[in-house]
Structure 1
Amino acid sequence: MHSDPNGFGKSGPGPTVSAAGPGPDVSGGSNEAAYLARARRQLLTGVSESGQDSPNPAGKRHPLGASALRDAFADLHEYWLATKGAEIGIRHDSGFALVAVGGLGRRELLPFSDLDLLLLHEEMDPAVVSQVADQLWYPLWDAHVKLDHSVRTVTQALHVADTDIIAAQGMLEARHIVGDIELTNLLISGVRRQWRTDIRNRFDELIAQTKSRWERSGEVAHRAEPDLKSGRGGLRDVQLLNALSIAQLTDGMPGLGPELPGGGLALAHRRLLDVRTELHRVAGRTRDQLHAQDADEIGAALRIGDRFDLARMLSDAARTISYSVDVGVRTAANALPRRGLDRLRRPPVRRPLDEGVVEHAGEVVLARDARPAKDPGLVLRVAAASATTGMPMSASTLNRLADNAPELREPWPKEALNDLLVMLGSGSGAIAAIEALDRTGLWGRLLPEWGAVRDLPPRDSVHTWTVDRHLVETAARASGFTTRVSRPDLLMLAALLHDIGKGRGGDHSVVGAELARQIGKRLGLWPSDIALLAATVRHHLLLPHTATRRDIEDPETVARVVETLGGDGVLLELLQALAEADSLATGPGMWGDWKSSLIGELVRRCRLLIAGEDLPVPDPLDPEHLALAATGGIHVTLLPADSPNTYVVTVIAPDQQGLLSKAAAVLALNSLRVHTASVGSAEGSAVDSFVVSPKFGAPPQAGLLRQELIRALEGELDLLDMLTAREEEAREIRRAAAVEEGGEAAVPVQYAQAPPRVIWFDTTSAGESILELRAEDRPGLLSRLADAFDQCDADVLWARVSTLGSSVIDSFCLALRDGDTRRKREEIERAVLGVVPPEMPETERDSGVQ
């Protein structure tokens, strides 16, 4: 076979074309074009031009609804094309077939969309093919129908599909209109077989094109004037899912059902189609970008409400589609067929992440022995593991949790609150985790108050995000400021809840404060912490409004702020950090040197009126521990704590250098997380108590911990080297898993969201100083800190250790043997900063790399 410039094959028999039949230059074509144009206008407006073709009086508008209009347009054009095709000889035995692709192929034909048609022929004479094509195309042009057409043999069409991925996607949705159905079947089966066979080689190009389209068009859910077709979460993403489904890599409708937020993928798809249909009708032409001035009219036509109601519905639908695409692409990538040596690669290994949570094929999934129906905290453990590792939660895991996980009892167990804080403290990793929980209905179970702000559009243009996404973005920003405050846990919770009162009427700060009290009680916070959380939400606008609208040099202005805050210095520092996180999460240009300097100066002046903070003090020692210390020897006890799955490990041993470091290392090597610790001494013995929880399963026996501690003290075990080796092994396993899956390591190095901070306090005792460390946690951090003090020849007289989510607030009273206190403090500070996680580089933090 040879090809001519028009893409026609060699000559052959063709249909019989009547000399009197309608052609491009005869009056019949003009009549047909006029009929088609008139019918299109009547469907669009509901008005009969003659006043006789409609049961409505002439001039009275009664347009079809969006869905009915699409069906009517598809029916009209299919009928016209089938009739016209039969008239010019395109019949079942003619060697011609007319095939619809694009909107008509999907039966999603919009009023002003292009009509995408493919005329197939069986290697006919080019002159005959040209005549048949002209008799199809010219009446459509005369009717002012935008036409995207091509004429090809099946072989030529398959070649185009093989070389042009966009054309291939269009042909995957091809549908027979008229003519030789065998030709159409050959095309459809050939394109789909070709697509399935070659999907491994084309997958990367497909995803690269998709991401490029997203970069050009933005997100439908968060754009003031979204691109409904090409934006992320738009109609082309639904077509992408369909293409992956045809390749047999996904089921096409992953992870979502109609009872969940967004109503499922099918409803989200239909809603976007309806809006785009009305957009065409309002604009009177093809348009994919929804302009703000048209939103009220479109919302009214669809009986949704005003432009804000429309924006909320669009956000809901687009985020449902976005989540479905994320799941679909991930599922497809894992399902790609392997060839050659790839078939010999070992299947992905299940690696534990937390109790009941494992990593498998680059996703966070449930362990085989997990029992979600009897483990209410499993949802938050899965989400925390996802946020901290950067690996997504599998759709099947989320569906299983949604179907089986019970409600958390009130108040929440401490472990559940800690997992929530760990997730929030992961920074940008929390955004994807919360979005996945929200799209599958799990986030609403944890925070029922979230429903009022879900997809709620902002009322002013300076906000980039919907209210719910703004709250999550603020929490992610606040995770970078946790070392600035003494209560990082309350900072992250306040960031997540500061605008929770919106969408309910009234002052959102006042409403939000009451909701924060309600939520804080449910989370199991202490009453004093609930009051502080509520006050932070209530006054989250106080500093920026005062600093930018009042004279901060006026003593009365400063006095009013201090009076409003009740002289609470902790509340003041929380509000300062929250103001910055809130501004950064609002949009570009909302935080800068001017605003930062004004708020900073206001806070400085307020601190001058607030009494200084109390020094950290040691915890009192338990009388039973004092009695054991008096007996001498090494004692290790392990007893249940107040909350489930937590234990108190107490180590009592003759005080010696390295004891604290080795005791903490023994706990870390036995997968025991330290939540709080109290270090003291009496009767020449150290008395160290640790509140811990096992990372997996049950805790080890106290006798085993004692045996390992004795071996370490005698020099038989190098615990710090063992900790470093285990950390590097975990890192290498993660890298290997990423390489195995063809991606980058989820956690190549350990970075902190917030820069570590060391604060020194002077005491009344000579030679003593108190060091407070605010940093992000890492495995074995307490052991490494104690070893750093030993290396600097600084004795730990007492210590108070607190782990709040992923942050630590550790206070150590140190005896400094060197006479030069300043030089010794600098040496110790360098040693301490050398063992905490380094701050994430600015470039990686901005790009969302974890």
Structure 2
Amino acid sequence: MFEIDNQRAILDRRALMAELNALAERVSDPSNPGPELVEILKRHLQAGRDQIQRRFLGNSRGAQAGLTSAHEASFLVDQLLRGLFDFTTQRAFPLGNPTVAERLTLIAVGGYGRGELAPYSDIDLLFLLPYKMAPYCEQVVEFMLYRLWDLGLKVGQAARSVEECMRQADSDLTIRTNLLEARYIWGDQGLYDEFQKRFAKQIVKGHAEPFYQGKLAERNARHHKHGGSRYTLEPNIKEGKGGLRDLQTLLWLARFCCGASSMQDLVKSGMLTAAERATFDKALNFYWTLRYHLHYLTGRGEERLTFDLQPEIARRLGYTDHAGTKGVERLMKHYFLIAKSVGGLTRYVCAAIEAQFIKKPMLRLPALGILKKELGGFPIEGGRLTIPRADHFSQHPGDLLRIFAVSQRHDVEIHPTAMTAMSHSLRLVDRIRDDPAANALFLDMLTSEKGPEQTLRRLSEVGVLGRFIPDFGRVVAQMQYDMYHSYTVDEHTLFAIGILTRIESGELKDEAPIASQVVKEVISRRVLYLAVLLHDIAKGRAGDHSLLGGDVAEKLCPRLGLTAEETEQVAWLVRYHLLMSNTAFRRDIDDPKTIADFVDLVQSPERLRLLLVLTVSDIRAVGPKTWNGWKAQLLRELYTRAFNQMMGGLNTTEEDRAASVISLLKQELPDWSDDDIASHAARGHSAYWLAFPPAALGRHARMIRAAEMEERPLSVEFNVDRWRAMTEVTIYTPDRQGLFSQLAGAMALCGANIVDARIVTLRNGKAIDTFFVQDGEGGPFDRPARLARLSSTITRVLEAPDQTLAQLQDLPPLANPAALNFPVIPRVLIDNKASATHTVVEVNGRDRRGLLYYLTAALTKLNLQISSAKVSTFGHRAIDVFYVKDHFGLKIESDQRLKALRSTLMTVLAEAETGDAAPSRAVMVDSWPPVAPSSAAQ
């Protein structure tokens, strides 16, 4: 048992029993002592908890602070239960000469059985009986449980005979695991000994393999439930992959399969090294310290290390900002490295157990139907590749890569023994890093059609990938501290490789049809796969990671065997890997100048194809909810227009293209006469006809005709597009100053998130404004009740704008308060070169409810016309882009007006902050030149 310092300061059982005995003497019936019994117990319990908390907070940076507190909390409950048990059996229900059936033992099981409790942990108890429940035992159990519940303890309890325990443990893996950790607390010691002997003989002996396989399957299911990655940015430290439960699983396997009472027993038996045991202890202590901070900070059994808690825990643990890295990022990198080490420990322990206790079938190759003893010179053990002797890699360092190539080629797993040997031989990777054969082998694995993601993941897990490509080693466990990314840099990169493979195989043809088509036309797969592998390789360094990553590519690609031409392509793709998403999501691709500038940078159809597939892989790998049909549509439109211009398909005038669109409109309106079409066409400018597809123009035409015939002052229509995951809201009404801003305010009041907008004033003085909106989850805003509310809100806003829009002040400014933990430096970027007809204003700031309304209201007050708006949200950061003109229809070029524009928008952005990003820190930039795009949002 863990040694507790100054135990009586936590709970002095003598003093407790003195009070309980005095109570028994005072009351007439000790079996009905009234509330005073609970008050005595509660006072001692709270005093012990306060003592433990003082000790923990006074030593929370200590190496064993959390684990020590966990043992102290278990000791506290032990002593309390012993006191209550004695009062119950000696005072409330005294029994002078109990029969055999009246024997009773109190046992701790589960985590409490291990002697570890968090502040808000459940207390799992087993009331052990010799046979079925006797009336006396039932009285004792009921009396104790009611008092424990009155204390507010969360008790998981069972009352079973020894025989019932054996029967249920035999049929249920969870019960078997809980009883494996059974620990005697109080009562009949002989009954506990009998239970332990029968458990060892009937449940444990001869059943190592099914328990081993069952716990690994249980672990895999748990990992899948919690995201399947140990590198999620808000990890569950208890249940997540690489977390506390994985360490506990290793203990269960060691106890059940090896008869070890602790990890130290595995060291004594030679199954683990002292260094590996030290790694286990370090991880266990670290997790318990984090867990105690989480419980104390939240006042509940919180197990997720969420964004809002990470900064405070980092501060408490002494992680400070330095060398360009935030303290919270250093905490999380430490966490991810610990989680990675738990994966290594799992391999070590499993290898040791399998070597001694698990049957070892040979490998059957399905294609040949024959059994094999070796593959590629590597022996087969337990159906997996291994090495012939412990020092194999020191004699053949090239096999550190070759074993993965054989595993990939034949779809065979690598034995934990070999993985363990690799992790101990990482320094040998330095000897093969510049070997042309090794580099060619790595490139073959990267570009293989047989699952490069899984192979790279194994290479990374064991540490070979980070050693072979040191720049990749720098981003292992590198956190991206924002609410947009869901994974660390290395995990995001590996996911992106997997998505690229799925695009190639056609798995994503419904989600990304154009990428799935053009990837077949890519000339160099080596260029594409290396660009995906390296696109974020320079994250976490001072400077633009895109530009720095291009420099890394220029040095690494020749080493890997790429030609000068291929190297130039990879470096360009890495430098410009954000260009396509920035253009599609933040620029008006209906503006010919946008397409022209984009084509000038991309230059060739091959590069355009590569960039599209890279962009789709990158976005889909950010997180489970970042990709949708709307983004797919924008990228498809940009790709199509750029490709057409490269191939000479856009050499017609704007008027000619508008005329072509109007001719297509006739197909959408088959019941309209030529005169009707001509009359309607006279309403719009060329820019209007080019801003929408024919189907949308057809809906507009019918809407306008109905409104004019019925003389309606306002028409609102909705078109739900589920493939693009958005709803198109079209408003037709007389134009007036501030109309766009008022409509944006109406959307904000109803919780509709605007992702794009087109503002058109027709020649008849009417506005046909179109908003593309989503709900808070990134799906279409489509529930009938919400659409009806939006329609009525638009009407109310246009009738009484000041009164209705004032309600925005009553809404919480942030949908997720955790966003305040992420500093945002507001920026206003003004570009007079991106469009031939408009001034492009890009606004970067903290996202909040109604931000678009406040920004457009400010632009209206400056007497600016807004022609279109592109709205993007990246977690806690909003990037809104406006195409504006002055009231004469010209660009804003006066220095005085540009200064006023910046100042006004900066004031709006400053109101979204709470002191963490003051306006004085803003970056004001005059233009956005066509160079490697900013990575601020990515």
Give the structure 2 partner of residue 429 of structure 1.
451
Partner in structure 2 of residue 66 of structure 1: 66
CA–CA separation in structure 1 for the residues paired with 2:586 and 2:36:
74
Instruction: Give the deviation of 1:188 after TM superposition.
Output: 2.9
1:584 pairs with 2:620: yes
Residue 51 of structure 2 is aligned with which of 35, 43, 62?
A: 43
**Partner of 1:277 in structure 2?**
292
CA gap 1:400/1:222 in 2 versus in 1, 3 angstroms: closer
Distance 1:469 1:24 in 2: 60
What is the correspondence of 1:317-336 to structure 2 with a 5 Å cutoff?
Answer: 317-322=338-343, 324-325=345-346
- Decide whether the 8 Å contact of 1:172 with 1:188 is kept in 2: no
Residues 75 and 264 of structure 1: CA distance in aligned 2, closer, same or farther (over 3 Å): same
- C-alpha change, 1:24 and 1:608, in structure 2 (3 Å) is farther
List aligned pairs for 1:725-764, cutoff 5 A: none
Which residue of structure 2 aligns with residue 151 of structure 1? 159
Partner residue of 1:178 out of 179, 186, 194: 186
Equivalent pairs counted in the alignment come to 572
Q: 2:647 aligns with which of 604, 608, 611?
A: 608
Q: CA deviation at 1:149?
A: 2.3
Describe the SS at the equivalent of 2:174.
helix
User: Aligned partners of 1:65 and 1:37: how far apart in 2?
Assistant: 20
Equivalent residue number for residue 249 of structure 2: 240
Q: Does residue 501 of the first structure (1) align with residue 538 of the second (2)?
A: yes
Structure 1 residue aligned with 2:227, among 196, 200, 218?
218
Contact 1:471 1:495 in 2 (8 A): yes
C-alpha distance after superposition, 1:307-359 (max 9, x if no partner) = 544544444444444565577678868977679xxxxxxxx9555443x4354
Question: Is residue 546 of structure 2 the alignment partner of residue 531 of structure 1?
Answer: no
Q: CA, structure 1 residues 154+550, in 2 after alignment: closer, same or farther (shift >3 Å)? A: same
Moved more, 499-508 or 532-541: 532-541
State the distance in 2 between where 1:258 and 1:495 align: 39
Structure-to-structure mapping, 1:645-724, within 5 angstroms: none
Q: Which residue of 2 aligns with 1:633?
A: none
Corresponding residue number in structure 1 for 2:79: 79
Tell me which residue corresponds to 1:514: 551
Flag the 1:105–1:563 CA change in 2: closer, same or farther, 3 A. Answer: same
Number of the residue aligned with 1:228: 237
Alignment of 1:32 onto 2:32: no
Contact 1:427 1:476 in 2 (8 A): no
How high is the TM-score relative to the length of structure 2? 0.54
State how far apart, in whole Å, the 2-side matches of 1:598 and 1:589 are. 19
Q: Kindly provide the amino acid, as one letter, of the partner of residue 130 in structure 1.
A: E
Residues 600/434 of structure 1: CA separation in 2 closer, same or farther (3 Å cut)? same
Q: Indicate yes or no: 2:173 matched with 1:165.
A: yes
Cα offset, 1:581, TM superposition: 2.0
Q: TM-score, normalised by structure 1?
A: 0.59
- CA RMSD, Structure 1 to Structure 2 (Å): 4.3
Cα offset, 1:411, TM superposition: 6.5
Q: CA deviation at 1:387?
A: 3.0
Cα distance in 1 for residues equivalent to 2:573 and 2:431: 26
Displacement of 1:220 in angstroms is 6.2
The equivalent residue for 2:410 is: 389
Compared CA separation, residues 419 and 258, structure 1 to 2 (3 A): farther
> Distance in 1 between the 2:431 and 2:53 partners?
56
User: Any idea what SS the aligned residue of 1:197 has?
Assistant: coil
Partners of 1:576 and 1:243 in 2: how far apart?
Answer: 48
8 A contact 1:196–1:246 mirrored in 2:
no
Quick one: structure 1 residues 191 and 429, their matched pair in 2 at CA, closer, same or farther if it must change by over 3 Å?
Answer: farther
- Residue 446 of structure 1 deviates from its aligned partner by 0.8
Decide whether the 8 Å contact of 1:257 with 1:264 is kept in 2: no
Residue segments in structure 1 that go unaligned for 5+ positions in a row: 1-16, 49-53, 57-61, 340-347, 611-850
**8 Å contact kept, 2:539–2:545:** yes
State whether residues 397 and 432 of structure 2, in contact with CA within 8 Å, keep that contact through their aligned partners in structure 1.
no
Alpha-carbon distance between aligned partners in 1 of 2:436 and 2:347, rounded to the nearest angstrom = 32
Contact kept, 8 Å, 2:599 with 2:642, in 1: the verdict is no
Alignment match, 1:294: 309
Corresponding residue of 2:918: none
Q: Within 5 A, what are the aligned runs for 1:199-218?
A: 199-200=208-209, 206=215, 209-218=218-227
- Return the offset for 1:431: 3.1
CA distance in 1, matches of 2:390, 2:89: 66
Aligned residue for 2:158, secondary structure, equals: strand
- On the 8 A contact 2:70/2:288 being kept in 1, the answer is no
Alignment of 1:100-139 (within 5 A): 100-123=108-131, 126-134=134-142, 136-139=144-147
Q: What secondary structure, in the 3-state scheme, does the structure 2 residue paired with 1:287 have?
A: coil
> SS state of the match for residue 182, structure 1?
helix
Superposition deviation, residue 113 in structure 1: 0.8
Could you tell me which residue of structure 2 aligns to residue 594 of structure 1?
633
- AA at the equivalent of 2:301: T
Once the two structures are TM-superposed, the CA of residue 530 in structure 1 deviates from its matched residue by 3.3
**Is the alpha carbon distance of 1:609 and 1:309 closer, same or farther for their aligned partners in structure 2, counting shifts above 3 Å?**
farther
Counterpart Cα distance in 2 of 1:365 and 1:496: 28
Cα distance in 2 between the residues matched to 1:427 and 1:275: 42
Structure 1 residues 427, 36: CA separation in 2 closer, same or farther (over 3 Å shift)? farther
Taking the aligned partners of 1:285 and 1:109, their CA distance within structure 2 comes to 13
Once structures 1 and 2 are overlaid, which stretch shifts more, 573-582 or 318-327? 318-327
Equivalent position SS for 2:107: strand
Give the drift of 1:504: 1.4
Q: Which residue of 1 aligns with 2:910?
A: none
Counterpart amino acid of residue 45 in structure 2: A
Which 10-residue stretch deviates more, 78-87 or 415-424?
78-87
- Output the CA distance in 2 between the equivalents of 1:219 and 1:597: 31
| AA in 2 matched with 1:77 | V
Aligned match of 1:357: 378
Contact kept, 8 Å, 1:269 with 1:321, in 2: the verdict is no
What is the identity, as a one-letter code, of the residue corresponding to 2:618?
D
Work out whether residues 192 and 246 of structure 1, in 8 Å CA contact, stay in contact via their aligned partners in 2: no
Cα distance change on mapping 1:557 and 1:55 into 2, 3 Å? closer
1:66–1:361: structure 2 CA closer, same or farther, 3 Å change rule?
closer
- Is the Cα–Cα contact under 8 Å of residues 250 and 346 in structure 2 kept in the other structure? yes
The answer (yes or no) to whether the contact 1:576–1:603 under 8 Å persists in 2 is no
Matches within 5 A, 1:423-572: 423-426=445-448, 429-479=451-501, 480-481=503-504, 483-552=520-589, 556-565=593-602, 567=603, 570-572=606-608
> 1:513 Cα deviation (Å)?
1.6
Question: Aligned residue for 1:575?
Answer: 611
The structure with the largest helix share of the pair is 2
CA apart distance, 1:291: 4.0
One-letter amino acid of the structure 1 residue matched with residue 459 of structure 2: L
> 1:74·1:108 contact (CA, 8 Å) conserved in 2?
yes
1:475 is paired with a residue whose SS is helix
Determine the C-alpha separation between the residues in 2 that align with 1:38 and 1:463: 41
The question of whether the paired residues in 2 share the 8 Å contact of 1:402 and 1:441 is answered with yes
Q: Distance in 1 between matches of 2:40 and 2:581?
A: 67
Q: CA deviation at 1:278?
A: 1.9
CA contact (8 A) 1:516 1:530 kept: yes
SS of alignment partner, residue 145 of structure 1: coil
Q: Distance in 2 between matches of 1:320 and 1:497?
A: 24
Once residues 129 and 591 of structure 1 are traced to their aligned partners in structure 2, the CA distance between those partners, rounded to angstroms, is: 61
What is the identity, as a one-letter code, of the residue corresponding to 1:397?
Answer: A
Distance 1:294 1:589 in 2: 24
CA distance in 2, matches of 1:70, 1:258: 24
In structure 1, the residue corresponding to 2:647 is in which secondary structure?
Answer: helix
- SS of equivalent residue, structure 1 residue 376: coil
Give the 3 Å change call, closer, same or farther, for CA 44–513 of structure 1 in structure 2. same
Deviation, structure 1 residue 374? 3.6
Q: Helix, strand or coil for the counterpart of 1:99?
A: strand
Decide whether aligned partners of structure 1 residues 403 and 315 sit closer, same or farther in structure 2, where only a CA change above 3 A counts.
closer
